């Protein structure tokens, strides 16, 4: 749970901002939310068991914002103890740079969530390759993560990386396979056991297509 | 900037906010499993697209390439004919790029030569290997028959059959082990049974040679083993036949890993399932000699040193158990209907009959007779009484069936009947595919009142899982109870029969018992598509 919070707090912050709360308030709210979530084993835990972390977070935050806003406002600014490290100042800068036209705050959250997930997976993948001393290979081949397997420009890649085409094909295949495994694994992390990864993938796809 | 960069794949403008400048939609799309199998959510890693027959034919002028017969992580297999020798062979090609690592060609030659030494009646012989125009290939003995996976899928292997198969696998393995060759990838797909009932173990040592039975990344990570058909919805940790030490240290494995895999296959043949984390003893699941438990469990020991140290020991144990009580007859497990189309029935019957018929040669007449009795195949060997019983049933239900058909013909025009028939045939020939499912659904929607709709609903149930399946079966009971199909199978009765089994496997004994009793009382004369009385099959079902 903590890990998930650490990874996906930003979409939530962005959501709160998008709901119209100014930066300082948003920071307080996000912190308070996570503090509450982690300290008190949230009431919505029952839902957590059944469903998806993504929807749980959104619903809980939405509820939090409507119910708790008044109470929280009365508390002192700052001083919340959370276990979730959030770079809130950086968050605001990042938020400022986001493209604007994203529909409702909920849709905005969904999109941010999907992008965060992708980001996390790519980071992880890159780290793996770098640890194996294949950092440059990763950079050179990363473009092959998109598109069909047959439509990759193998000849070009081979030339660029100074490898023979057969070896490039193998490397690309491995990269894509590992990426897929990591992606599905990360998605599975955000869901309860027994939930369908493909279903969530389809949802994420739809979300990103909309944006 | 006026123009945003476009994604090379989907041609949409790239959002500026993704790392590496990659299109997020396409990145997500890359997460879907490749190839068929996404309906069960299992990872069917078929990223390798086998070349068409024509392409391959060009590379092997000395062969007449007939058809693609299989594909997997290790390449593709074609049936071919050697022109000069006029014999059938199996041509296996490796995926592209697999041979491009520098030391590969040398390793390939060395290993293949060792494999070519494996000349044994229970081992698929390797004739030739090589590389042509960058394509690495093997030419192997062609085995005309089925693999154990197909057998397991179509009907549970009986204990007697399992006990006939296992010793042959042991022979094959012991022979290879004596030559220092470990198979490393024993699984039902690699165990073939030819038309004469002989076991042939295939793909020896290829797993190590090609290096694809595990995650190709050297630094560990997620081991994606061969997906198993019985498991759906899981992403990782799909059950496999690999010994624990093979999963942990793939490079340090010895012949005892094969013994473990054999244990898994043996277990699966006896019980129909894979051994779970807490291994349930086979004799608790099926009626078999309890001494077999020990054999299976010892083969499945997690630590190699606790297992049998030689495969021949397994064979000796099995033969001892079989020999000491020759009169013991294991009660047959409930007959699971295999394939349910007319064409499928014929195929299954023929296949089963060939295999079982051939087992006479190996097992002796008495045993074979018992097996044939259990399967009740239509052969000239079949006892007269069973045949007569079947015929009389057909007559009584046949009358009903004719009546139904006439009613159908009254309700529908000739053209409509033809259309219904066509939709039906699509399903028959493409059993289990989305086309088939759609075809049947269309048929039901358009012609909900005809007998065939009942049959179609039943077929749909058999092609589906979970809630869909339950829904269709219920519809069979509610809407099509009195419809008939095939040789007098009553839809309502058969649907109940299938539901009993579903409930049992879900642990819902109460519901199962209710339906089971209904069948015994209200549908006492009902049969399955093979002509067996449902109540007979239910005799062994009770809780």
Task: With a cut of 80, say whether residue B228 has pLDDT above it.
Answer: no
Q: Are B276 and B202 in contact (CB under 8 A)?
A: no
Q: Are B148 and B164 in contact (CB under 8 A)?
A: no
- Look at B423 and B344; give whichever has higher pLDDT: B423
B242-251, B336-345, B518-527, B530-539: which has the highest mean pLDDT?
A: B518-527
- Look at B530 and A10; give whichever has higher pLDDT: A10
Using the 8-state DSSP alphabet, how is residue B21 labeled? G
B236 confidence band (pLDDT: 50, 70, 90): very low
Q: Which residues pair with B135 in a beta bridge?
A: B132
The sign of the CA dihedral B280, B281, B287, B288 is positive
Chain A, window 126-155: residues with a beta carbon less than 8 angstroms from a chain B beta carbon: 128, 131-132, 142-143, 145-151
**Segment B42-93, tens digit of pLDDT:** 333 334 567 777 778 888 889 999 888 876 656 788 999 999 999 999 998 8
Cα end-to-end span (Å), chain A = 28
Buried residues in B468-479 as b, exposed as e (16+ CB within 10 A) = ebbebbebbbeb
A197 touches chain B (CB under 8 A): yes
* Percent of all residues in chain A with a pLDDT value above 70, rounded to a whole number: 79
Contacts for B295 with CB less than 8 Å, ≥ 6 apart: B266, B314, B317, B318, B321
The predicted pLDDT at position B409 comes to 57
- Best B12, B31, B74 residue to mutate vs chain A (most A CBs within 10 Å): B31
Catalytic machinery residues of B: 185
How close does chain A come to B8, measured CA to CA in Å?
Answer: 8
**Segment A58-68, tens digit of pLDDT:** 888 887 887 75
Report the pLDDT averaged over residues B411-435.
70
Closest by Cα among B288, B257, B258 to B270:
B288
Q: Which residue of A has its CA nearest to B46?
A: A177
The predicted pLDDT at position A185 comes to 86
A204 touches chain B (CB under 8 A): yes
Task: With a cut of 50, say whether residue A138 has pLDDT above it.
Answer: yes
Q: Which residues pair with B194 in a beta bridge?
A: B145
- Best A132, A136, A146 residue to mutate vs chain B (most B CBs within 10 Å): A146
Task: With a cut of 80, say whether residue A186 has pLDDT above it.
Answer: yes
**Segment B359-372, tens digit of pLDDT:** 444 444 444 444 44
B97/A170 touch (CB, cutoff 8 Å), yes or no:
yes
The predicted pLDDT at position B225 comes to 30
Using the 8-state DSSP alphabet, how is residue A104 labeled? S
Closest by Cα among A60, A69, A121, A66 to B19:
A121
Task: With a cut of 80, say whether residue A184 has pLDDT above it.
Answer: yes
B376 confidence band (pLDDT: 50, 70, 90): very low
Contacts for B271 with CB less than 8 Å, ≥ 6 apart: B280, B282, B285, B286
Query: Which own/partner contact pairs does B303-310 have at CB distance under 8 Å and 24+ positions apart?
Result: B304/B243, B304/B245, B304/B254, B304/B256, B304/B257, B304/B260, B307/B256, B307/B259, B307/B260, B307/B263, B308/B256, B308/B259, B309/B256, B310/B174, B310/B177
Q: Are B504 and B543 in contact (CB under 8 A)?
A: yes
The runs of H, that is alpha helices, within B60-158 are 104-116, 148-154
**Segment B385-413, tens digit of pLDDT:** 545 554 554 444 444 444 455 555 566 67
Mean pLDDT of all residues in chain B? Answer: 72
Closest by Cα among A181, A185, A110, A183 to B28:
A183
Residue A196: C-alpha distances to residues A118, B32, B133 (Å): 18, 12, 43
The predicted pLDDT at position B87 comes to 92
> What is the rounded distance in angstroms from the CA atom of residue B3 to the CA atom of residue B14?
10
State both tokens at B123. 């081992």
Q: Are B423 and B442 in contact (CB under 8 A)?
A: yes
A128/B134 touch (CB, cutoff 8 Å), yes or no:
no
B236-240, B248-252, B364-368: which has the highest mean pLDDT?
A: B248-252
B381 confidence band (pLDDT: 50, 70, 90): very low
Q: pTM for this one?
A: 0.40
The predicted pLDDT at position B265 comes to 93
User: What's the ipTM?
Assistant: 0.75
Contacts for B8 with CB less than 8 Å, ≥ 6 apart: A143, A146, A147
The predicted pLDDT at position B534 comes to 83
Task: With a cut of 80, say whether residue B438 has pLDDT above it.
Answer: yes
> What is the rounded distance in angstroms from the CA atom of residue B18 to the CA atom of residue B27?
10
Name residue, tokens 């007269």.
B384
**Segment A48-101, tens digit of pLDDT:** 555 677 887 888 888 788 775 555 454 544 444 555 667 776 777 777 777 665
State both tokens at B535. 């109540």
Name residue, tokens 């099509």.
B480
- Look at B12 and B443; give whichever has higher pLDDT: B443
A24 touches chain B (CB under 8 A): no
C-alpha B247: how far from chain center: 24
B233/A131 touch (CB, cutoff 8 Å), yes or no:
no
A162 touches chain B (CB under 8 A): no
**Segment B325-351, tens digit of pLDDT:** 544 443 333 333 333 444 444 454 555
A186 touches chain B (CB under 8 A): no
Q: Which residue of A has its CA nearest to B38?
A: A198
Report the pLDDT averaged over residues A129-154.
83
Q: Say which of A99, A164, A183 has its CB closest to residue B17.
A: A99
> What is the rounded distance in angstroms from the CA atom of residue A203 to the CA atom of residue A185?
16
Contacts of B49 in chain A (CB under 8 A): 149-150
């Amino acid at each position: 749970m903590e890990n998930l919070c650490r990874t996906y707090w930003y979409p939530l912050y962005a959501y709160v901002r998008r709901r119209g709360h100014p930066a300082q308030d948003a920071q307080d709210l996000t912190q308070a939310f996570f503090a509450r979530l982690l300290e008190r084993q949230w009431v919505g835990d029952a839902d957590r068991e059944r469903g998806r972390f993504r929807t749980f977070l959104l619903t809980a935050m939405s509820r939090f914002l409507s119910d708790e806003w008044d109470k929280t406002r009365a508390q002192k600014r700052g001083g919340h103890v959370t276990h979730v490290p959030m770079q809130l100042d950086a968050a605001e800068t990042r938020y400022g740079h986001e493209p604007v036209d994203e529909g409702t705050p909920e849709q905005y959250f969904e999109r941010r969530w999907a992008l965060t997930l992708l980001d996390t997976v790519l980071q992880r993948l890159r780290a793996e390759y770098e640890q194996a001393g294949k950092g440059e290979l990763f950079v050179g081949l990363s473009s092959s993560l998109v598109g069909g397997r047959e439509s990759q420009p193998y000849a070009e890649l081979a030339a660029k990386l100074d490898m023979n085409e057969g070896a490039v094909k193998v490397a690309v295949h491995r990269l894509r396979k590992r990426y897929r495994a990591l992606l599905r694994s990360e998605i599975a992390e955000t869901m309860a056991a027994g939930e369908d990864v493909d279903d969530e993938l389809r949802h994420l796809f739809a979300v990103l297509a909309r944006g | 900037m006026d123009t945003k960069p476009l994604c090379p794949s989907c041609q949409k403008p790239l959002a500026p906010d993704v790392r590496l400048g990659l299109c997020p939609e396409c990145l997500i799309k890359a997460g879907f499993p490749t190839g068929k199998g996404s309906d069960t959510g299992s990872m069917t890693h078929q990223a390798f697209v086998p070349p068409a027959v024509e392409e391959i034919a060009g590379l092997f002028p000395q062969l007449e390439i007939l058809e693609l017969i299989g594909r997997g992580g290790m390449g593709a297999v074609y049936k071919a004919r050697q022109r000069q020798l006029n014999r059938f062979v199996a041509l296996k090609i490796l995926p592209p790029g697999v041979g491009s690592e520098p030391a590969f060609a040398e390793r390939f030659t060395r290993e293949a030569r060792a494999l070519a030494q494996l000349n044994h009646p229970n081992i698929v012989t390797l004739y030739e290997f090589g590389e042509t125009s960058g394509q690495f290939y093997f030419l192997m003995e062609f085995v005309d028959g089925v693999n154990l996976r197909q057998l397991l899928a179509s009907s549970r292997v009986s204990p007697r059959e399992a006990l006939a198969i296992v010793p042959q696998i042991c022979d094959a393995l012991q022979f290879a082990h004596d030559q220092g060759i470990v198979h490393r990838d024993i699984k039902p797909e690699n165990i073939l049974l030819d038309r004469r009932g002989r076991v042939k173990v295939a793909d020896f040592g290829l797993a190590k040679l090609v290096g694809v039975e595990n995650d190709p990344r050297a630094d560990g990570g997620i081991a994606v083993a061969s997906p198993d058909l019985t498991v759906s919805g899981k992403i990782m940790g799909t059950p496999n036949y690999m010994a624990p030490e093979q999963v942990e240290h793939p490079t340090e494995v010895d012949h005892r890993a094969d013994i473990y895999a054999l244990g898994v296959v043996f277990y699966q043949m006896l019980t129909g399932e894979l051994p779970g984390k807490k291994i349930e003893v086979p004799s608790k699941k099926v009626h078999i000699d309890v001494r077999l438990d020990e054999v299976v469990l010892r083969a499945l020991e997690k630590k190699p040193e606790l297992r049998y140290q030689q495969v021949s020991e397994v064979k000796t144990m099995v033969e001892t158990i079989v020999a000491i009580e020759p009169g013991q007859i294991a009660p047959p497990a409930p007959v699971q209907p295999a394939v349910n189309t007319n064409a499928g029935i014929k195929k299954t019957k023929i296949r089963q009959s060939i295999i079982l018929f051939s087992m006479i040669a190996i097992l002796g007449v008495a045993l074979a007779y018992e097996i044939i009795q259990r399967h009740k195949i239509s052969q000239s060997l079949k006892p007269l009484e069973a045949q007569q019983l079947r015929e009389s049933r057909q007559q009584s239900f046949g009358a009903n069936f004719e009546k139904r058909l006439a009613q159908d013909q009254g309700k529908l025009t000739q053209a409509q009947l033809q259309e219904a028939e066509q939709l039906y045939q699509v399903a028959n020939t493409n059993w289990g595919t989305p086309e088939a499912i759609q075809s049947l659904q269309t048929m039901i929607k358009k012609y909900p009142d005809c007998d065939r709709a009942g049959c179609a609903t039943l077929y749909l149930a058999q092609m589906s899982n979970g809630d869909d399946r339950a829904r269709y079966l219920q519809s069979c009971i509610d809407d099509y109870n009195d419809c008939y199909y095939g040789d007098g199978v009553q839809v309502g009765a058969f649907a109940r029969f299938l539901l009993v089994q579903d409930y049992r496997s879900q642990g819902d004994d109460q519901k199962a018992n209710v339906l089971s009793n209904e069948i015994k009382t209200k549908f006492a004369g009902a049969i399955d598509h093979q002509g067996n009385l449902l109540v007979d099959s239910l005799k062994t079902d009770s809780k």
